Every structure is written in C-alpha cells, then in structure tokens.
Amino acid sequence: MSVPVRVTILGSGVLLPDDTRRSAAHLVEGADFSLLMDCGSGALHGMDRFQKPWRGLTHLAITHFHTDHFGDLAPLLWALHHGIPGGRDEPLVLLGPPGFNRILGALAAAHGDFVLAPGFPLEIVELERNGRWDDPRGRFALRTHPARHTPEAVALRLEVEGVRPHDGLSIGYTGDTGPDLDLGAFFQGVGLLVAECAVADPTELEIHLSPRSAAALAQVAEPALLVLTHLYPELDPDRLPDLLAREGYTGRVLTGRDGLTLTVGPGRVEVPPGDASTPNQN
C-alpha cells in the first residue's frame, strides 16, 4: 500500500478580502515530501494557523502568475531564509509554468537577493504546459495540462506510486481554467480533484469555471471526490453541491474551506466528520 497523502486547503477564496477564505493555496503532505500547490496571499500565515510544518516544505508548484496564486512566494522564501534556527540544508524544488525564471528574477529585483539565494539549494523547474516532471528522488510525478485561463496557466496532476502496481494515488488541481472537457479527460480517474469554481451561472466568462462547467468537467474526470475551491463571494458555498447536482453531476462533491484536510489513499478520499460530502458516503 502506498502511504496516504493529506491535502489541506490553506486558501479556498480569491484576492478579495475575506477572513474565512484566503487566496489559493493547497498543501499536499506525503510520507517523504511536502508540496504547496499555489501560494496566494495568506498561504504563509495559514501554514502556522493550521499548524503545518512550513519549515519542512520540499516542493512548491505555481499554476500561473496571477497574484492570488503566487503573492506569498517571496514572503515564504523570506521566512525559509530567516526563520529556521541554524539554517536549512534541504533543497527546495520550485516548479512553475513557462516564464517562471523571468518571474523569479523580477521578484528578486523587487524583494531582494533572498528570493534566488535563500541560503539553501533552490532547484528551479520551468514546467512544460503539456508535460510531465518526475521528482529525481522518486517521491512523485507531476503531469501538466494547459489551462484555459492565461497563456502560461497549467493544471496539475500529482501521481504517487505505490509499492505494488495499481496501488498508487493521484490528485488533480485545476488551478484557474475555463470550460474544458479535454481537461476533464486529463483528470480521468484521479482520487481527489480540487477544482476552482469561481463564478456563478449563467456566465459567458471563458477563463473560470462555474457550477455548470465544473459539473461537466467532473462528469468526465470521475474523481472519487470533487472539492470545489476559489469561490467568489457571489457563490453560496452551502448551495454549490446542489447546483452541481442540478447540472447533472452525480459524483461525490464537497465545497472546500480554509483548513479542510482530506486524506487521499488509492482510489479513496476520507473527509473529516462534519464536512459531509454529497451524496454522503462517509
């Protein structure tokens, strides 16, 4: 059996001030890695708020260069530079979409040398939009798919191998995207799918998902559990699962919240008591 992986939503909101929903950030904790998927504002302090061992972060992956997805990158590197007694030796792998090196250079010019020289090894990886990156130490693989949002935006599919074949687990994260059934196929069969659902129906917007387009995407992906995140205030979190059911989505679905931790194993996702998913299969 592969060891279950815990996924914690640090930020389920957008950039508008909201004390309960901070900008996009999702922490994935495995047996031998700790990966932050997006690092929007609120992520760094959220790690402490939800008692996450931020000093032990091993990987950070950015989906695109909107402020609500990487606004806390420089603050996080500052904290890792200054906030570890005795310093840090463990490398940090920074993964980002095309243009990532240029963005990191701009952040260093704005914030200071610590961004690119934090006092421990940085391994910077520019992901291809349609590709795969394998951790050199075999901890996981990260597959990417273009996301219909910005020219560089990627969606992520994390694969953790099990000891035996068919024992692995997978986690999908849309980042920001638009209606896209091809992206649904990319996520086919993931255990947990964390999908943005930013705007309400009806919408003509083609660079975000709504309940209708999220339902269509998830109907193709067929995850064991769909978790909706990145909500603008116009969406009522309590009504979201119903809205997706009305759009024809028959799978298990849950609206995310800041601090929600899910446990992902091969083909299954455990939800904490009190965070009932619909249909309720806890």
Binding region for Zn ion (CB under 5 A): 66, 68, 176
As measured in angstroms, the least distance from the Cβ of 152 to Zn ion is: 10
Burial class of 212 by CB neighbour count within 10 A (0 to 12, 13 to 18, 19+):
buried
CB of 149 to Zn ion, least distance (A): 5
Residue 193, H or E segment: strand 192-196
Nearer to Zn ion by Cβ, of 135 and 152: the residue is 152
CB 179 within 8 A of CB 209: yes
* Closest separation in Å from C-beta 90 to Zn ion: 29
Q: Which is nearer to Zn ion, 58 or 144 (CB)?
A: 144
Q: Would you say 31 or 205 has its CB closer to Zn ion?
A: 205
For residue 246, what are the contacts with CB-CB under 8 A and spacing of at least 6?
Answer: 211
Cβ-based nearer residue to Zn ion, 33 or 173 = 173
Nearer to Zn ion, 70 or 249 (CB): 70
We find the least distance from the C-beta atom of residue 150 to Zn ion, in angstroms, to be: 6
* Strand 225-229 with 192-196, pairing: parallel
Q: How far is the CB of 21 from Zn ion (least distance, A)?
A: 12
218-246 burial, b if ≥16 CB within 10 A, otherwise e?
bbebebbbbbbbbbbeebebeebbebbbe
- Residue number closest to Zn ion, CB atom: 66
Pair 194, 229: CB distance under 8 Å: yes
